[in-house]
Structure formats: structure tokens, C-alpha cells
């Protein structure tokens, strides 16, 4: 790969439970560590402070205003210039979580992922390829219930409240309108590794050809 050129910026957007993480992990598997780097919107939440379970349930994380989009943009631009970014990993207001410092290194391929990356105009303008990952709403909801229960310890009632009052309205307002602007649409209802691996094979071959 030719490191003299500007890095190739790949944007991966998808709603909660779309299977975006599964897609990303399959895609990253095709590259060596120094060929690709990942910048995640989740690490740019503006710290909301300690919250009770009830406060956490009512707080809407699914709004663009909860993201420090200017710092997100600043760090992407640093990576494009070949500079290393150091960033605190966001812990979703879990007081028991150990906060890690992420070291994000520049690479020929920079992946920018998150719910609002197409809504933030300055970030969207930097993307060379846009991928939209989606799943049927019922599938996405079941994934969300499973993830939030297992990883974050949220009761199902709280997950459902957030889903209907925060997640779905945000998806329809801040992500779905940009679906038509995307270069590739990946439908992931089944979580069948073979399907996702085949799609990530195709995309990674295209990128390697462009960057050879």
C-alpha cells in the first residue's frame, strides 16, 4: 500500500442492533494492524456524569448533541495528517468500568463508524466510501436486549423504554435519511458469518486494489 497518499476514509453507519460491530470485526480481519485504524463515535460521548438507574433510563444518548463532534472531527483530521490520537475510552457511565486510554494510530485505511457520522456534515465530507449496515427492527431490538442485558446489566424494561423513545426516533431522523447517499448497503438480519465474510471480502479486495 502506498503510504504517500492521503488515507482512504471508510464510513460505516448503522443503527443499534444492525450488526455493525459484527460486520466491522469481519472487515478488520482482512487487514494487518498497520493497514487499518478505527475511530468510533462511541468514544466521543460528552460525559453525562454519574446517574442512577432511573436517570440513565430517561437520559437520551441517541441525539447528536450527546456527541463531541468537533473533537471527533479534530481527531479524524489528525489521523489523516499521520498523527497519533490518544483518547479515553467511553464507559457508558458504568462506575465499575476501568477507563482505558486508547492509542489510535494513523494507517492507510481509516474506518470511521457510528450512528451520526453521515449527519455530521464535516465528518461526512471526509468519507471516501460510505457503508450502511441495517437489519429488520425486530431483529435489531432482540440484539439490543441481549447486548444491554449481558454487557451493561440493563433490565429489559429499560431497554424497551429507550428503544421506543430514543433509539428508533433517532435512527429515523438522523441516519435513515442518508441511506440513499451510501455506496453500499449491507443487510444483516441473520448474523450468518459466511454472508458477512463474503461481503467484507469483496470490499477489502476493492480497497486493496485502490491502495496498491
> Is pLDDT above 80 for 44?
yes
CATH class of 8-211: alpha beta
Residue 148 is given by DSSP the state H
Of 130, 136, 135, whose CA–CA distance to 113 is shortest?
130
pLDDT (0 to 100) of residue 94: 64
Contact 116, 175 (CB under 8 A): yes
Strands (E), the chain: 8-14, 36-40, 85-88, 101-104, 109-113, 129-134, 184-187
Q: What is the pLDDT of residues 138-189, one digit of tens each?
A: 999 999 999 888 877 889 999 999 999 999 999 999 999 999 999 999 999 9
- Give the domain ranges of the chain: 8-211
- Which are the contacts of 109, defined by CB distance < 8 A and separation ≥ 6? 7, 8, 10, 31, 35, 36, 37, 207, 211
Q: How many residues does the chain have?
A: 212
Q: How many CA atoms lie within 13 A of 109 on its CB side?
A: 26
Q: Is the pTM of this model over 0.85?
A: yes
SS3 133: strand
Question: Residue 83 and residue 100: Cα distance in Å, rounded?
Answer: 20
Amino acid at each position: 500500500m502506498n503510504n504517500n497518499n492521503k488515507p482512504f476514509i471508510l464510513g460505516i453507519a448503522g443503527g443499534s442492533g444492525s450488526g455493525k460491530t459484527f460486520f466491522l470485526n469481519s472487515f478488520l480481519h482482512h487487514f494487518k494492524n498497520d493497514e487499518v485504524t478505527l475511530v468510533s463515535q462511541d468514544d466521543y460521548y460528552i460525559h453525562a456524569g454519574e446517574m442512577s438507574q432511573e436517570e440513565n433510563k430517561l437520559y437520551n444518548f441517541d441525539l447528536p448533541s450527546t456527541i463531541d463532534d468537533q473533537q471527533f472531527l479534530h481527531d479524524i483530521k489528525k489521523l489523516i495528517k499521520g498523527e497519533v490520537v490518544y483518547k479515553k475510552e467511553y464507559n457508558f457511565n458504568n462506575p465499575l468500568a476501568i477507563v482505558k486510554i486508547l492509542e489510535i494510530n494513523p494507517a492507510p485505511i481509516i474506518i470511521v463508524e457510528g450512528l451520526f457520522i453521515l449527519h455530521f456534515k464535516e465528518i461526512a465530507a471526509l468519507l471516501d466510501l460510505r457503508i450502511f449496515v441495517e437489519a429488520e427492527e425486530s431483529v435489531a431490538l432482540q440484539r439490543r436486549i441481549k447486548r444491554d442485558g449481558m454487557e451493561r446489566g440493563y433490565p429489559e424494561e429499560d431497554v424497551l423504554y429507550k428503544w421506543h423513545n430514543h433509539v428508533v426516533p433517532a435512527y429515523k431522523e438522523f441516519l435513515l435519511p442518508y441511506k440513499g447517499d451510501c455506496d453500499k448497503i449491507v443487510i444483516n438480519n441473520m448474523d450468518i458469518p459466511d454472508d458477512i465474510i463474503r461481503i467484507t471480502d469483496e470490499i477489502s479486495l476493492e480497497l486493496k486494489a485502490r491502495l496498491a
